Amino acid sequence: MTLIAPNLFYSDEHEWVRVEGNNAIIGITDYAQDALGDIVFIELPVIGDDCTQMDQVGVIESVKTVSNLYIPVSGRVVEVNEAVLENPSIVNSSPYDEGWLLKLDIYEPAELEDLKSSEEYEELISEEE
Amino acid sequence: MNQTTLHAEHKALGAKMVDFADWSMPVSYKGIIEEHNAVRQRAGLFDVSHMGIIDVEGTQSLQYLQYLTVNDVSRLEPFQSQYTMMLDEKGRVLDDMIITRLGARYRLVVNCSNKDKIIAWMQLHKNNFSVHLTIHDDLNILALQGPAAKSMLEPLLDTLWVGGSFNVMYAKLAGVDVLVSRTGYTGEFGYEVFVHDDDVVKLWRLFIEKGAAPVGLGARDTLRIEAGLPLYGHEIYGLVTPFDLGYGWIVKLDKGDFIGKAFLSRSSHTRKLFGIVLEEKVIPRQGTEVLHYGVVTSGTFSPSLGKSIAMFMTQRDIPNDRHVSVKVRDKAYDATIIKLPFIKKGINKDATV
């Protein structure tokens, strides 16, 4: 059963966004990690990088396939999860928690309106399944 | 889309299914790495019933297969198998395969993706020979692979297993009629079991009950790459020869005429398949450039080594341990050339006794 965390924003590319004050914490969804399978390599932007919504900023590679990471909301990278770079399988075991990828300073909070709610995302993946 | 007889079993086990050469096949059940490790450490069970099974009968079966394949079929004793290839007149490999002598009959097991092409080719060339072909859509192949395969399978046989690698035996396995073959595609000790549609579910469930982990095509690929085994469409393509692949020993130029002989007789032996091991875990997949040396034919993450690995074809005289760069998504990564395989056959040999 695919897990969808409540109270997050979701992109069509299967990323999630948790808003904390002016920060956005970004990761990939349970659905995405399950579709990829065993993740072995992750490439992320570095602290200080400016990212524009829908930019391809990273790569998530599993044994089976490779997937691009798109930025769901524009901002400046203020923190990168070094633990997942060291041990990418954390994203498989804990996609919404320990497996977070990036923390951004949000430039344009209005962009969050482009994203889906938990309920809307659930609808999206039930269509894909 | 085609389905194997075990399709419902795969679904019930929660397998992720993929379209593979117009067959719906399991790519993984619990995860590629877990399944890979199960084969290396204990035993894994694969449904490879999508492969083509072609039996050749008739008084000129031997002459016919001698003419169509590169290896010497006359050297086969009854119930013995050999690895071989079929080439066309221009030298292109049509497929690699295993031929088994079953008394007066011969059985070919060919790649799923080449099955129709090989059947057409064999039919095209059978007019000059007194032979009859049977395509076995009623048979399944279960591969039981890994160090525990022996203790799992052999007590279920009604006959003592006496053969070695590349031998086959008719037997009853848990009361079911099977043909057991000591072959595989994992680099581990193992068997491939030919079983009829009526009995395959029973044997599949029995092996799982005995502790074999179901394994999908994902781990089948990581296992065969670690073992340095070529795959049609990856290492085997275009005018690549058995010599290039390190399988020159299957070419028997002294056995008489066969299709592709003229090409192989004059082909140069300048290329060879090598491996590379990367420092980073980025995966150099098929088509990745090995700067100045060649192009990756298969690449994956090696669960056994914990490193990314790949195979590629280059000049034969490259020294091992040479440092090279591979280019993945416009970035260069360090790699070291090694001699294949990445994992020696029978790494867990002790456990097979």
Q: pLDDT class for B353, splitting at 50, 70, 90? A: very low
CA distance B288 to chain A (A): 14
Q: What is the pLDDT of residue B290?
A: 97
Contacts of residue B28 in chain A, CB cutoff 8 Å? 37, 64
Calpha distance B227→B230 (Å, rounded) = 9
Contacts of residue B308 in chain A, CB cutoff 8 Å? 40-41
Percent of chain B with pLDDT over 90: 93
Contacts of B215 (CB under 8 A, 6+ apart): B29, B35, B36, B38, B39, B44, B45, B46, B145
B322-334: average pLDDT = 95
Q: Among A31, A56, A63, which would you mutate to test the B interface (most chain B Cβ atoms within 10 Å of its Cβ)?
A: A63
Residue A100 pLDDT > 60, yes or no?
yes
pLDDT digits (tens, 9 = 90+) for B81-115: 999 999 999 999 999 999 999 989 999 999 999 99
Cβ <8 Å between B32 and A38: yes
Q: Which residue of A has its CA nearest to B218?
A: A64
Residue A92 pLDDT > 80, yes or no?
yes
pLDDT digits (tens, 9 = 90+) for B243-296: 999 999 999 999 999 999 999 999 989 999 999 999 999 999 999 999 999 999
Residue B347 pLDDT > 80, yes or no?
no
Contacts of B26 (CB under 8 A, 6+ apart): B10, B13, B15, B16, B17, B18, B47, B214, B216, B217
CB B196 within 8 A of CB B140: yes
What residue has token string 């992320």? Answer: A44
Q: pLDDT class for B345, splitting at 50, 70, 90? A: low
CA distance B285 to chain A (A): 9
Calpha distance B132→B63 (Å, rounded) = 13
**Residue of B27, B308, B329 with shortest CB distance to A64:** B27
Higher pLDDT, B317 or A62: A62
Q: What is the pLDDT of residue B346?
A: 57
CB B32 within 8 A of CB A37: yes
Q: What is the pLDDT of residue B318?
A: 86
Q: pLDDT class for B238, splitting at 50, 70, 90? A: confident
A9-110, CATH topology level: OB fold (Dihydrolipoamide Acetyltransferase, E2P) (2.40.50)
**Which two tokens mark A30?**
């349970």
Work out whether strand B23-28 and strand B2-3 pair parallel, antiparallel, or are unpaired: parallel
Cβ <8 Å between A61 and B282: yes
For residue B341, say if its preceding peptide bond is cis, omega within 30 degrees of 0: yes
CA distance B161 to chain A (A): 37
Q: pLDDT class for A1, splitting at 50, 70, 90? A: low
Q: What is the pLDDT of residue B131?
A: 98
Q: What is the pLDDT of residue B350?
A: 38
Q: What is the pLDDT of residue A6?
A: 85
Higher pLDDT, B7 or B268: B7
Q: pLDDT class for A5, splitting at 50, 70, 90? A: confident
Mean pLDDT, chain B, whole residue set: 95
Higher pLDDT, B332 or A5: B332
Q: Which residue of B has its CA nearest to A42?
A: B282
Q: pLDDT class for B319, splitting at 50, 70, 90? A: confident
Contacts of A114 (CB under 8 A, 6+ apart): A53
Q: Identify the burial level of B136 via C-beta atoms within 10 angstroms of its C-beta, where 0-12 means exposed, 13-18 middle and 19 or more buried.
A: middle
The complex scores an ipTM of 0.90
Contacts of residue B329 in chain A, CB cutoff 8 Å? 59
Listed residue (B198, B199, B161, B197) closest to B180, CA to CA: B161
Q: What is the pLDDT of residue A127?
A: 84
User: What is the DSSP-derived secondary structure letter of residue A116?
Assistant: B
